[in-house]
Amino acid sequence: MMQGNRSAAGRGIGGTRFWAAIAVWLLLSRGLPVTGQEGALPPLPPLFSSDGLTAPALSSPPSPVPWLDESEPPEVRSAIDRGLRLERQSRWGEALGIYEEALRDFPESPVLQSRFHEVRLRHDVARRYSDPSFLSLVGRIDETAALSLYDEVLLKIQSHYVESPRWRYLLEQGTHELELALLEPKFLSSNGVKLEPGAAIALAGELRQAASMDWVCNRAEAREVVAQVARWLHRRIGLPVSAAVLEYLCGATNSLDVYSAYLTPAQLAEVYSQIEGRFVGLGVELKADGGSLLIVRVIPRSPAEQAGIQEGDRITAVDGKPVDQVSTDQAANMLQGPEGSVVELTVRTRCGSWKSVRVARASVEVPSVTDVHMLDAAAGVGFLRVVSFQRGTPKEMDEAVAELVRQGMQSLMIDLRRNPGGLLTAAVEAADRFLPQGIIVATSGRVPQENLTYSAQGPARWAMPVVILVDRESASAAEIFAGALQENGRATVVGTRSYGKGSIQGIFPLANSEAGIRLTTAKFYSPKGRPYAHRGVEPDVLVQLAARPVDGWRATGDGRGAAAADPKEAAPPSEDTVLQAGLNVARGMVARSPREARRTFPVRTLP
């Protein structure tokens, strides 16, 4: 996640990377549509077992897993075993990362689906109550305002969500979210409630009985039940009505699918920062690793670069507080701050020495197009990497391609590996640069305004042969771009099958709260009408890869330099099997059509 701009909630929850200064919600916007993951949530398992403990997360011993079907593959059993160990330590983000990764290979496993959903809810509660902007909202909002906010969220779901709402289901999910919140110490302490674990479990059982919902058939009736339950809890344990209502709100939104979610005020601001590709912070990309924060990438011209921080360094303390004593989210919050404020970091360098540095937070621009260079000058093969699709990506791509043309480029390689997506409009505009005609992507939703077809305007701005590199982490907007050029005959796709996302999310601000929600509003399809969900983009040249490593940026695994436990272990170009395969294809393109490839490419002015 981008701290301040990249959050683990999108893809890569737990164990993923984050930017020091804004958490990046990978897939964004309403009015600025963005793409996200498809998939309904499985039914929830029973919350409480006969011994009064949460089941199965708190069952004991952790291994073997007695309730796991013996027919499940060993990989699933191993993932569940590791995940449960982390759950028992309340390390929700790390457990979530394990389940998410396992679901990539075993998407139909009901036990993985169940644990992913359950732990996601626990993780969301803990994260919200570590977010100062949410705590401020809870502290200032009253009962009337909270119920109005809940009603507004239900109305937006009714008006915009890709499927018709099931009111009783949303109410059940809200009740379940509140049950889990009662087991979270941060939730209780932040709301001034003292409750022993055993009493919290018993109270959650009573809550189920109090939240009678058999008669709920519409939005107004759901609101009435929530008001009754929240007032009952206030009388019972003194929990503020607004706090209970907000949990119902979050439970309803977060249960729709894996990408629909409530956004705290800080998270909503971060989403808009991601759209623009700029934020206030340090300008480093981090990964929680071994009780420290590993520097995976340093943004050029950022405060961190100016302070001498390098890739491979590790932050071990922030303002004197060791990071191994706090959660990843808390560490991310410690690094945030207003522009001009100073943070003191204790750093262990990649060489093993120690140093203390003071870094002033400043406005940082995050480029979405990087690594622009001639990969093979003799053959005329240029290269660029698109990290994500944000508002400025089409312009950045134009500038990068123009520079490569000036250097003698005859064919272009575009690396979309590990690109999680971004703005739908940015992907469409970028694809339009390369297409003389044809459909780029089609969308379909429950409401007519979501049924759209995006087509190339022509003529193509750039006409050189194109090779696109993808992997299993190329997702959403990246798949739209790759699929559009592939199915219109403008690019050869090399690598492994992409992630397989197929839905679009919209960002909806909420009145009088500075918060918002992200809702899935439509599904999207390739130029030939093929759904991307669970299928992805199949490469024209499939590169067989070795088993994936535990931590990326190794020559094995996804076949390229991706995020590693140590950036020094990045695979050199000669060992990047996907890159080498793409280079061979690009060289062949130039050799087969020298006249077309070596002419001066037309330049078309686009808005």
User: Contact, 267 vs 128, CB < 8 A?
Assistant: no
DSSP class per residue in 208-269: HHH---TT--SHHHHHHHHHHHHHHHHHHH---HHHHHHHHHHHHHHTS-SS-EEE-HHHHH
Rounded CA separation 605/30 (Å):
27
pLDDT of residue 573: 66
> Closest Cα to residue 125, out of 268, 422, 274, 327?
327
pLDDT of residue 600: 40
Axis crossing angle, helix 143-160 with helix 167-181, rounded to the nearest 10: 130
Domain ranges for the chain, please list them: 1-27+259-366, 28-34+49-258, 369-597
pLDDT of residue 208: 77
Rounded CA separation 430/418 (Å):
18
Length of the chain: 607
Rounded CA separation 102/288 (Å):
19
Rounded CA separation 72/94 (Å):
22
What residue has token string 């280079």? 583
CATH of domain 1-27+259-366: 2.30.42.10
pLDDT tens column, 90-101: 888 889 989 988
Query: What HEC string does 470-481 produce?
Result: ECCCCCCHHHHH
Rounded CA separation 473/479 (Å):
10
Q: Are strands 411-415 and 381-386 parallel, antiparallel or unpaired?
A: parallel
Rounded CA separation 146/596 (Å):
63
pLDDT of residue 565: 33
Q: Which residues of the chain have pLDDT under 50?
A: 1-33, 36-66, 548-570, 596-607
Q: Are strands 516-525 and 466-470 parallel, antiparallel or unpaired?
A: unpaired
> Looking at domain 369-597, does it have CATH number 3.90.226.10?
yes
What residue has token string 């397989």? 500
User: Contact, 288 vs 314, CB < 8 A?
Assistant: no
Axis crossing angle, helix 167-181 with helix 110-128, rounded to the nearest 10: 60
pLDDT tens column, 480-536: 999 999 999 999 999 999 999 999 999 999 998 899 999 999 999 999 999 999 899
User: Contact, 252 vs 154, CB < 8 A?
Assistant: yes
Please, which residues have CB within 8 angstroms of residue 422's CB and are 6 or more apart in sequence? 26, 27, 28, 34, 35, 274, 368, 388, 389, 390, 393, 476, 477
pLDDT of residue 520: 95
pLDDT of residue 594: 53
Half-sphere exposure of 261 (CA within 13 A, CB side): 28
- The model carries a pTM of 0.78
